[in-house]
Amino acid sequence: MPISDPLPFLVWYSKEEIIDESWTRGPEEVVVNQLSLSLARVHLLTDFTCKAALDNYVHAKYASLIVDMNLRPLEVKIIALKDKIIANRKAEFQCLSYGSKPPVTITWFLDKQRLLGSSDENLDNGNVTRSSVSFVPLPEDNGKHIICKAENINFNQNAITKEMLLDIFCKHNRM
C-alpha cells in the first residue's frame, strides 16, 4: 500500500483472529506485511485475509486468499468381502484410501502381477477412494499376497501399499 500520512497498518487475519500485525516500509514507498507460514493439512481451505486501513478504519481495503494444496494419502487398507477365499470361486476385495488430495489412483496386484478390471469410487468429497476388484484364485495362489497400491499422481514415489496374505481353501473331490 503506498505510504500516506498517517501511515496505514496491515494486519493478517484467519478465522477472524489476528495472526500477524507487523509491517515495514518496503521499496517504492509502500507498507509491507509479509505473512510466512509452515503449512500443514490443518490449513487446507483456510481463508487468510490482509486488512489495510488507517487508524480510524475508514476506507479499509481487504485482500483474501484460500489455501489449497495437494496432500499425500494417510492410510490404505484392504478388506476381503467374504470370510473364506475358495479356490476356483470368485473372490472380491475392497481397498480404502484416506486423506489424499486430489484422490488417489489405486492399482491392484497379485504378488507382482497386476490385476485389471477394478472399479473406483471417490467418497467424502474425494477424501476417501474405494476400489473394488475381483478374481478367481487358483489353488497355487495360496500363500500369495493381494496388494493394493494407492498413489497421488502429484507426488513421486510416495505410494502407500497394503498387502493381504491369501489363505485359499480348496475343495477336494473324493473317489
Give the position of cell 494444496: 69
Percentage with pLDDT > 90 across the chain? 70
Q: Can you tell me the distance from the alpha carbon of 81 to that of 97, in angstroms, rounded to the nearest whole number?
A: 16
Mean per-residue pLDDT of the chain: 90
pTM over 0.85, yes/no: no
Chain-centroid distance, C-alpha 172: 46
Res. 25 pLDDT band, cuts 50 70 90: confident
DSSP annotation of 89? S
Q: Can you tell me the distance from the alpha carbon of 28 to that of 31, in angstroms, rounded to the nearest whole number?
A: 9
**Residue 156, CA distances (Å) to 52, 72, 87, 122, 159 in order:** 40, 10, 37, 21, 8
Per residue in 103-159, pLDDT tens? 999 999 999 999 999 999 999 888 899 999 999 999 999 999 999 999 999 998 889
Per residue in 33-81, pLDDT tens? 989 999 999 999 999 999 988 776 678 889 999 999 999 999 999 999 9
Q: Is the pLDDT of residue 1 over 90?
A: no
CATH numbers and ranges of domains, the chain: 9-66 (no CATH), 75-169 (2.60.40.10)
* 13 within 8 A of 49, measured Cβ to Cβ: yes
Predicted local distance difference test score (pLDDT) of residue 172? 65
Pick the more confident residue, 115 or 30.
115
